[in-house]
């Protein structure tokens, strides 16, 4: 199996949809020898911030000398991004090997009349096997959707369950209220386990604390107020801490202050459990952390950003961060979104910083078409148009912009990787 065929096979599994529950992945992982039972995990759930928090933690652990896996989704440009070890993506050859092994077991399951695993279940099982065979010391494991019934929650134990910010998203699956969603996220908490949480909404926190009591789990609260000074610059977040001194990271955003506090508290709790993490490892971990596609500066003169914000909470963080870096300025914005998202609310939030909108259609069957989106945009901005391709949208805005302008592409992770790739190719040329 070559790389293209391996990727084609993985995405062919999308036809089986997304199904909650652990029955299929349990069968699949058992056939692989239950590799997850031989690994140590930091399990990370949350509506927003779980990816960047995971990236901070994996970087800190790697700087401390541990073999640290990082499992995240979705990817921005290449599928390989989802499975990383010490900052390095799984290679094409390794991916082909593991996809072939997973396919063999899935084919046997189907021959025996068993239910077909979903694409996320297949990828998760493959990641478990990869990290086990690479003798990984610890895996930072990002939940795919929710927590309680997510495929990653087939693990029976975790060093720490981390819960980042909980807000409304995927309500059709997780529930309509913050309390219902928090219950699903808190499903990753293990009996007699350890929990680190973001400073949650009171309703969410009440649910998390209740589950901790039921499961006799210790809970630690992150403390973003410990940062004495916070400064935002293009491509850089600067934090001052009374104990660690100056902490700098290229992972930028108002919300990243909170995610950094969650990662910092988790690292401190890991030290208490016996991990050898020095203060300098924490500082270096933040400095070398990478989380593409989140308020990421990909071009200068004009400044060009991509951000995968795809719900109102994420858009608010983008707007707030933008205002911190560019007070009293407005941007030219490319926006594409899924039909099932709260795009009216997001456009309303963005209108405060937008002087020109271009609507695009992300490459996804769930995407809202650009022409329909542009009609809605016109309620929030005078300068609105739509483009038939991502390339056309980027070319248009670059032709409109001066060196002093700011361009941003956001609304969905399903197309910002395409924008990123265009700028990387341009830089190489």
C-alpha distances in Å from residue 208, one per residue of 148, 174, 392, 402, 427: 12, 15, 46, 48, 46
Q: Which domains does the chain have, with CATH numbers?
A: 3-288 (3.40.1190.10), 296-428 (3.90.190.20)
C-beta separation of 40 from 250 below 8 A: no
- Tokens 């951000």 label which residue? 307
Distance CA 321, CA 251 (A): 12
- Amino acid 170: pLDDT: 57
Radius of gyration for the chain, computed over Cα atoms and rounded to the nearest angstrom: 21
pLDDT of residue 428: 43
Nearest to 310 by CA among 242, 247, 235, 366: 366
Query: What is the DSSP code string of 46-113?
Result: -SBSHHHHHHHHHHHHHHTT--EEEE-SS-SS-GGGGEEETTEEPPHHHHHHHHHHHHHHHHHHHHTT
Give the CA dihedral 238, 243, 245, 250, nearest 10 degrees.
-30
Look at residue 175 in the predicted model and tell me its pLDDT: 62
Q: Which two tokens stand for residue 303?
A: 């400044």
Among 50, 41, 44, 8, residue whose Cα is nearest residue 157: 41
The candidate with the shortest Cα–Cα distance to 178, out of 21, 47, 343, 347, is 47
pLDDT at 48: 86
Task: Compute CA distances 163 → 47, 49, 70, 219, 358, whole Å.
Answer: 9, 9, 16, 11, 35
Residues 6+ apart with CB under 8 A from 14: 119
pLDDT of residue 427: 41
Write out the two tokens for 200.
Answer: 């949650």
What residues contact residue 21 under an 8 Å CB cut-off, 6+ apart? 149
Beta strands in 271-326 (DSSP E): 296-299, 303-307
Handedness of CA 174, 177, 182, 187 (dihedral sign): negative
* Dihedral sign, Cα of residue 322, residue 239, residue 416, residue 201: negative
The stretches in the chain having pLDDT less than 70 are 168-175, 424-429
Rounded to whole angstroms, how far apart are CA atoms 334 and 359?
6
Q: What does the pLDDT read at residue 73?
A: 93
């Amino acid at each position: 199996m070559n790389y293209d065929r391996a990727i084609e096979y993985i995405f062919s599994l999308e036809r089986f949809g997304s199904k909650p529950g652990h029955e299929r992945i349990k069968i699949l992982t058992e056939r692989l020898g239950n590799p997850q039972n031989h690994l140590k995990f930091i399990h990370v759930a949350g509506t927003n911030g779980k990816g960047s928090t995971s990236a901070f933690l994996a970087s800190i652990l790697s700087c401390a000398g541990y073999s640290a896996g990082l499992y995240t989704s979705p990817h921005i440009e290449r599928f390989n991004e989802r499975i990383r070890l010490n900052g390095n993506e799984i290679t094409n050859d390794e991916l082909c090997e593991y996809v072939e092994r997973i396919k063999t077991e899935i084919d046997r399951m189907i021959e025996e009349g068993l239910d077909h695993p979903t694409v996320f279940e297949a990828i998760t099982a493959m990641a478990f096997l990869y990290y086990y065979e690479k003798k990984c010391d610890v895996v930072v494991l990002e939940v795919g959707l929710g927590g309680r019934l997510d495929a990653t929650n087939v693990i029976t134990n975790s060093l720490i369950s981390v819960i980042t910010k909980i807000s409304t998203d995927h309500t059709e699956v997780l529930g309509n209220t913050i309390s219902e969603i928090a219950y699903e996220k808190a499903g990753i908490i293990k009996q007699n386990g350890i929990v680190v949480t973001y400073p949650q909404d009171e309703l969410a926190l009440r649910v998390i604390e209740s589950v901790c009591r039921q499961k006799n789990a210790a809970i630690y609260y992150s403390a973003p107020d410990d940062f004495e000074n916070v400064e935002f610059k293009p491509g850089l977040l600067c934090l001052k801490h009374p104990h660690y001194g100056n902490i700098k990271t290229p992972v930028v955003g108002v919300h990243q202050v909170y995610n950094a506090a969650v990662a910092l508290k988790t690292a401190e709790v890991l030290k208490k459990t016996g991990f050898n993490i020095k203060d300098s490892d924490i500082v270096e971990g933040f400095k070398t952390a990478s989380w593409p596609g989140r308020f990421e500066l990909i071009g200068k003169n004009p400044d060009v950003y991509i951000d995968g914000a795809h719900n109102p909470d994420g858009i608010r963080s983008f707007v707030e961060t933008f205002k911190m870096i560019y007070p009293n300025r407005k941007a030219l914005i490319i926006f594409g979104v899924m039909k099932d998202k709260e795009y009216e609310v997001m456009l309303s939030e963005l209108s405060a910083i937008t002087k020109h909108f271009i609507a695009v259609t992300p490459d996804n069957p769930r995407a809202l078409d650009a022409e329909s989106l542009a009609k809605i945009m016109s309620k929030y901005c005078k300068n609105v148009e739509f483009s038939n391709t991502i390339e056309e949208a980027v070319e248009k805005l670059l032709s409109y912009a001066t060196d002093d302008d700011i361009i941003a592409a956001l609304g969905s992770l399903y197309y910002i990787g395409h924008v990123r790739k265009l700028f990387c190719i341009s830089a190489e040329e």
